[in-house]
Structure 1
Amino acid sequence: MLATSILEEHEQAVGASKSFKLKSSKLLQHMKRLRKSKNESSAKLLEDEHLQADVKISYIDVGSETDHPVLNIQDFLRMLGQCGQLDVLTGGLDLFKACQEFWHRYSEEDKSHPVFTVHADHLNRCVPMCVYADEGQSHKKTSFMVLATQPVIGKGTLASLKRPGAESEMGANMAGSSLITRFVFSCMSSTLYSKKPEVFDKLANELATQLDAGFKDGISVLYGGDETTLYPVVLYTKGDWPILKRLGALNRTHPQAIANLSESKGVCHLCMAGTEKYPDWHQCHQASWMCPESISDPRPPWSQQTLFTQLLARSPSLWGKTWLYRPDLFHTVHKGVCAELTGSGFATLDSSN
């Protein structure tokens, strides 16, 4: 779709005949035809043009009829090293310097994180990352799940990039093309897991297992022509409430509370607001496990921990474990609260007329 849009805009600007003189004209025309015939998933064109990343596709048993394809974390990082692209893990900044500076700053937030004891003498090779998952739709309106990793360090935000010298500063991983800021682990059609949720759970468990192995044993890669070992460190997982519930087997979330108002199980996995002890939903601060009022009797928001909570390195407190599952700002605000408020505003304006 992107290639089609570029080609059509160029044709409108200079004319179709001149567009044929582009070095990439043959490729763009081919991609445009794939778009019209709805065969965009065809990878043969990218292979023929040597535009496909040379990363091994592995297959794992998830309990479906056939093994499921994944891009193993170690294979992906090794591919980046072989291509001389490991600095995309830190927004283009020097990998070692950026990681060292990040952990220096992060120590002010959470000194109890295991990275400061397990990898104290090589923090410059510990790459802060997060796990991202979301359910989207294909062109044929079929739901599918995307499971990916995302570096924490990036180029910044659109606002921060306006500051002088921002290109040399360490920023959040929000600006820039998603092709070099989000790294797919695997995608899965909902037809595989909608009636058998354990199928997706096995896929998620594989990712958690690989990330745990990377943290403990490291991954050997090439950087600057030399062999070195990197250690991926997952600080959090993010997504909308349904995917957080699935990844953490959470039994206390906002959607569940809305559906079962009379049961008082709580509204959030990060505090005890909405429970019998704190029935007022607005008592989030008093009910937080970081506050003395509720820390004496916290109730874990799960009956059994998933491998994400069991394996991924976290601070030992219950708060440290639950803070692994963080509501995504995009889903909470842009597609959540603000979307509802905007819709209500339109409805109010319409009724007033």
Structure 2
Amino acid sequence: MKNILGSLFFCIALFANEYSVIFDKHEAFVKEPIHLKLTYFAKNKETIIWVKFAPKATKDFKVVLLKKKTLTTGYENEFLIFPLKEGNLKLPIELTVKRASKQEIQTDILGTGYEQTKIIEGKITSYPIEPLKIFVKKTPKADLYGDFTLHLQLDKTRAKAYEPVYAILTITGTGFDQIPSLHLKTNPKIKILQDKPIQKVEFAPDGAHIRYKISYALITKSSFEIEPLKLKMFDYHTLQTLATPKYQIDVKTVPIQPDKTDNPPKIEPVFHTFEKTFVYIFIFLSGLLSGILLFILLKRVYQKQFEILLAKDEKELLQILAPLPGFEKEKELLNEAISTNKKISLVQIKKKILKELT
């Protein structure tokens, strides 16, 4: 009976106030998550326009909103807080409520038939809330803060020369969302290709749930060792060391086999063969085109000479010479040869005419 009355008294006391501030730690380490729940119990909820209930921004804390919830009795906001320095810290809380009359809110919702140009006039009330007092303890220097696991996975431990060995490094756990830059070390030092890290973070009341993954490709021509990767982790109780195993990678050198065939045919990529064929065709077409262009050019400049040179008989040659001035003697010889069927040296006449034209 006393327990029931005690619980009932707690509820009455809770609702007697207009708000409640609940957080799960009064003491914490630097970068340790603290769950904060802020609840505003609204009287006459239908007159509320908005409620702002949240921690104020400060450089001493990192604040992450987890969720906002509207209750039948008011509003509830949950946050995750990470202290960023040691000492007796104070986190200010802001609670501001804007209210208006039911008539103003109803008019805003339903409208008046005219364009609304004014915002709702209302009353803004700020509640004085005592800052949260948290004693923050110093943490040892570490790479990870929280509870994490470290794992390195290889696709093989034996490879041929210059064959990539792929490695995936993963970090999973819950705590503060800060992952240091990670680099693999080998002995002897070899070429390592590193992919862009993939990090997934989900915030919850117990902290940041983190899954971090990064991929590597290790390439060399001789055997090597992957040195253990060591990270310091503080789980808010003790300082621990996380480490990956040491891996021995055996790389087999593949000797180049000599070609014992006498005068083996030359092996060329198909592209090179096609390239040579294309060059030959291009040269041939270029020469042919150049010859045609040259012939056309010469024909235009020496058109009459070409006509004279290509004349088949005396009659055709006389037709070519007729419009030209001069060459009277040649014209008479050609005319006489045509009329009397007299044989003359057409070649000699052409030479004489061409000589005079040039």
TM-score range with shorter-chain normalisation?
A: under 0.3
Structure with bigger helix share is: 1
Q: Output the TM-score relative to the length of structure 2.
A: 0.19
Q: Output the TM-score relative to the length of structure 1.
A: 0.19
